Structures are given as structure tokens and as C-alpha cells.
Amino acid sequence: MSDIKTTEGLTPPLTLPEDEVRQGIELLFYAYRDFTIEPDTILLKYGFGRAHHRVIYFVGRHPHMSVSELLVILRITKQSLARVLGQLVRQGFIVQHTGKSDRRQRLLQLTPTGVELERQLSENQRQRIQRAYVEAGPHAVEGFRKVMLGVISGDADRGRFRRTR
């Protein structure tokens, strides 16, 4: 973050062109915008929103996760989560079961219907990533990962990516 000093003849140009940085900002904006359009459309049919997708995605990704773990990932309040999670539970996409070691916890899990919805929702996003990855090539993907990790804030979250590869 800080220095403009570690430059002793190394590769990176220390002052990046204004335009290059602006481009980076806009790439993130457009990519995220397009990345969410199609799932959003599907969700409409169920009367759900993007928040439901996020919950379904992460519960699918980490079965038996607790409510508080989910809150940490999503960075929203429990009241915000309560509405969408409640809907998903009442409508049979997610089940909650009491934790064994800690009976206060409500561990979350997708139902078969939930799994199906998750698949349907993420399908387009998977294809989009897959296509972009294949077209760009593995070398570019490595660079993509590096930059994205640099954009992400905390070591905690960065740690989530320290396994693949």
C-alpha cells in the first residue's frame, strides 16, 4: 500500500498510468454487473433476489455451516439474513438442524430442491468463468487470480483461496 521505494531496477513500473487504473475499476464494474444479470433473472421467477442466491451458493459450498459463519462471509446483519434465510427454509430450499456439539447452532444445508436451484442459478456463472478461463489460457488465469487476491482485503478472506493449485 505504502511505498514507492522498492524499485531497485525491478519489473513493476511504480507509477501506473491513470488510465490503466481507471480501466481496472471499470473492468470490475462491468464484469460484476454482467456476472449477476442472468441469475437475477432466474431468481425473479421464484420471487427471490440476489441475496437468496448468495445464501444458497455459500450453503451449497459449505454444507452444515452455522448461521454466524454465513454472516461473516456475507458481511450483513443477522436481521438482513433472517428474512432471506427464513424464506428459503419455509419454502423448502434449505434445512436447519441443531448442532451436535453446540446445540445452539442451526447448521444449514441445501435440500435436494435447494441443490437443484443452486445448480440452475450458478450454471450461467460457471459457464461464464469457464469460457473466460479457457479463452484466456491458464497463464492469464494465474494473473487474474493474483490481481483479484490483491484486491481482496483481509488475510482472513484471502486464506479462503489457499488451497487450489
Q: Is 62 in the site for a copy of itself (CB under 8 A)?
A: no
Q: Is 113 in the site for a copy of itself (CB under 8 A)?
A: no
Contact between 92 and 50 under an 8 Å Cβ cutoff? The reply is no
- Window of 78-86, 100-108, 112-120, 143-151 that interacts with a copy of itself by CB under 8 A: 143-151
Q: What is the DSSP string of 14-75?
A: SS--HHHHHHHHHHHHHHHHHHHHHHHHHHHHHT--HHHHHHHHHHHHSTTEEHHHHHHHHT
Binding residue (CB under 7 A) for DNA from 8, 102, 135, 155 = 102
- We find the least distance from the C-beta atom of residue 101 to a copy of itself, in angstroms, to be 27
Q: Is 47 in the site for DNA (CB under 7 A)?
A: yes
Cell numbers describing residue 82: 433472517
Cell numbers describing residue 89: 427454509
- Window of 24-32, 62-70, 88-96, 108-116 that interacts with a copy of itself by CB under 8 A: 24-32
- The half-sphere exposure of 56 on its side-chain side, counting CA atoms within 13 A, is 27
Which letter does DSSP use for residue 152 in this model?
A: S
Residues at the interface with DNA (CB under 7 A): 43, 47-52, 54, 66-69, 71, 74-80, 82-86, 96, 99, 101-107
Residues at the interface with a copy of itself (CB under 8 A): 1, 11-14, 16-17, 19-35, 37, 54, 57, 61, 75, 122, 125-153, 157, 160-161, 164
